[in-house]
Amino acid sequence: MTNFPNGDFKEANYNKVYGIGADRYICAHEYIHNNIHSFGINEAFEVLSKTSQKNTLCSIVYEPLKNEIYISFKKDLSKRWKISIIEKTIQSLDGFLSNSKIQFTNEEIFVNDLISLYK
């Protein structure tokens, strides 16, 4: 949804927007509005599920109060990793046979490395 210029429509009703991505923007707005009182990580991934495209490579949800990032690759939102900025860890969260935690350092961690650990 980052390709949708929602700032161009700041004075418009949400369902009157138009252009590439407008349908996803409207869908996301309605889902969030209808679930705002119980909105959390699972609901955020549900929005991403409803609005993802065929070529989506990565879906990310950020929890600012905990400084945690939740991430899924491609359109498989059933497999999620949690990245803790405070603990400097990446752990498998949902959709895996085991729940493992990796301490990250200054070295790189590649997506393929994560996926191969938890197949």
Strands 58-63 and 89-94: unpaired
Question: Cα–chain-centroid distance for residue 59?
Answer: 4
**Which pLDDT band holds residue 70 (cuts at 50, 70, 90)?**
very high
Q: What pLDDT, on a 0 to 100 scale, did the predictor assign at position 119?
A: 58
Q: What pLDDT, on a 0 to 100 scale, did the predictor assign at position 64?
A: 93
SS (H, E, C) the chain: CCCCCHHHHCCCCHHHCCCCCHHHHHHHHHHHHHHHHHCCHHHHHHHHHHHCCCCCCEEEEEECCCCEEEEEECCCCCCEEEEECCCCEEEEEECCCCCCEEECCCCCCCHHHHHHHCC
pLDDT in tens, 76-108: 888 898 999 999 888 888 777 777 788 877 777
User: Do the Cβ atoms of 22 and 33 come closer than 8 Å?
Assistant: no
Q: What pLDDT, on a 0 to 100 scale, did the predictor assign at position 112?
A: 76
Q: What pLDDT, on a 0 to 100 scale, did the predictor assign at position 68?
A: 95
What's the pTM?
0.81
State percent of the chain over pLDDT 90: 35
